[in-house]
Amino acid sequence: MRINLISDTVTKPTPQMLKAMFEAKVGDDVFKKDESINYLEQKVAEMFGKEAALFFPSGTMANQTAIKIHTNPGDQVICDKDAHIYNYEGGGVSFNSGASCKLIDGHRGMFTAEQAKAAINPPDFYHSPLTSLIALENTANRGGGACWDFDEIEKIHTVAREHELGFHLDGARLWNALVEKGETPEQYGKLFDTISVCLSKGLGCPVGSILIADEETIYKALRIRKILGGGMRQAGYLAAAGTYALDNHITRLAADHAKAKEIGQTLEKLAIIKKVEPIDTNIIIFYLQDDIDEQSFLKKLEALGIDLIGMGSGKLRIVTHLDYTSEMHQAFLKVIQNVL
């Protein structure tokens, strides 16, 4: 039994999900004739109380499309220094949109309305880039799956509106935040102009993300997705997995969170662990003592059938997910307590 805790993207479709995929009615989505995709897009738009949604092959493409819509070349995007759009999308903000990022030195991938306001360049000062977008990430991945305080999001929304800035949410793991905090998609739909959500993380789908916005924005997104090479044909097989996951895999995220907290409590007691970051959802970030070599630590676990990865700068990450069973959980806890 190998235990893969690298990411919540490593899951494979369950038999029931595969069945839903096999039975999907499909058509050519470039002509908007794929019933399963149309259904999923409509369903997700309604969940968020928005007009429209668009299915994407990846969260990166959904985020990059949103950024392209909100900006012109030369503009600036405000985001946290740990943001996925800045760190893990291949420099796409500059490559795709010709825009730069103004990084906020936030806490666990999150920042305050005051910090956001201070990061806005005065629009009449033509020497500095024009600020056009504020982007948030919930949960914050590099922040260790941290959940935002909704009140702070509301305050940042006010700042964005006062300065006529776009407001984008990278909600790759928004589902985890909703479950953990008892929030609703509508709450987020009311505040953000654009929201991207992943189906391929905690929800356990093989592929897929969705961008949610108003009708006009989604029409623009359709063109940009095409330009980026994301126009897909009979992708309804993938959308059917998404619909299945939305109906069956959201509430169970609480089990992933409970396992993550248990892992954190166990790690905290080990002498070789320097520090475990607070655990809000399904991500555990921890640091080894300075005299422990990260590579040999990872190799040792690998030999014991456990896969983890480092996040750089001495950070290690564990992510719980749908395919991490209770049996694996017990085995993993035993290994880290007895062997390390």
Ligand X SMILES: *Cc1c(COP(=O)(O)O)cnc(C)c1O
Binding residue for ligand X (CB under 6 A) from 11, 58, 64, 266? 58
CB of 168 closer than 8 Å to CB of 135: yes
- Does position 209 interact with ligand X (CB under 6 A)? The reply is yes
* Residue in 11, 60, 217, 243 binding ligand X, rule: CB under 6 A: 60
Binding of residue 34 to ligand X (CB under 6 A): no
Stretch that binds ligand X, among 160-168, 193-201, 216-224, 269-277 (CB under 6 A): 193-201
198 binds ligand X (CB under 6 A): yes
Nearest CB to ligand X, comparing residues 77 and 336: 77
Which stretch in 176-184, 195-203, 296-304, 316-324 sits in contact with ligand X by CB under 6 A?
195-203
Residue in this structure with the two tokens 């040999």, named with its chain if needed: 296
Site for ligand X (CB under 6 A): which residue of 64, 71, 141, 281? 141
CB within 8 Å of 229: residues ≥ 6 apart: none
Q: Which stretch binds ligand X (CB under 6 A): 55-63, 282-290, 309-317, 322-330?
A: 55-63
280 binds ligand X (CB under 6 A): no
Comparing CB distances to ligand X, the nearer of 144 and 166 is: 144
Closest approach of Cβ 127 to ligand X, in Å? 32
Measured from the CB atom, the residue of 41 and 137 that comes closer to ligand X is: 137
If one asks whether residue 282 binds ligand X (CB under 6 A), the answer comes out as: no
Minimum distance from residue 61 beta carbon to ligand X (Å): 7
Among 84, 102, 249, 321, binds ligand X (CB under 6 A): 84
Our CB check for ligand X shows the closer of 59 and 204 to be 59
| Cα separation values, 250 from 61, 202, 256, Å | 23, 8, 11
SS3 letters across the chain = CCEECCCCCCCCCCHHHHHHHHCCCCCCHHHCCCHHHHHHHHHHHHHCCCCEEEEECCHHHHHHHHHHHHCCCCCEEEEECCCHHHHCCCCHHHHHHCCEEEEECCECCECCHHHHHHCCCCCCCCCCCCEEEEEEECCECCCCCECCCHHHHHHHHHHHHHCCCEEEEEECCHHHHHHHHCCCHHHHHHHCCEEEEECCCCCCCCCCEEEEECHHHHHHHHHHHHHCCCCCCCCHHHHHHHHHHHHHCCCCHHHHHHHHHHHHHHHHCCCCEEEECCCCCCEEEEEECCCCCHHHHHHHHHHCCEECEEEECCEEEEECCCCCCHHHHHHHHHHHHHCC
Instruction: State which of residues 170, 193, 256, 277 lies at the interface with ligand X (CB under 6 A).
Output: 170
Q: Count CB atoms within 10 A of the CB of residue 226.
A: 11
Sole binder of ligand X in the list 26, 172, 276, 318 (CB under 6 A): 172
Nearer to ligand X, 131 or 282 (CB): 282
Interacting span for ligand X (CB under 6 A) from 121-129, 196-204, 238-246, 271-279:
196-204
Residue 137 is a binding residue for ligand X (CB under 6 A): yes
Q: Of 121 and 209, which CB lies nearer to ligand X in the complex structure?
A: 209
Q: Which is nearer to ligand X, 87 or 121 (CB)?
A: 87
Which residues lie near ligand X (CB under 6 A)? 58-60, 63, 84, 137, 141, 170, 172, 198, 200-201, 209
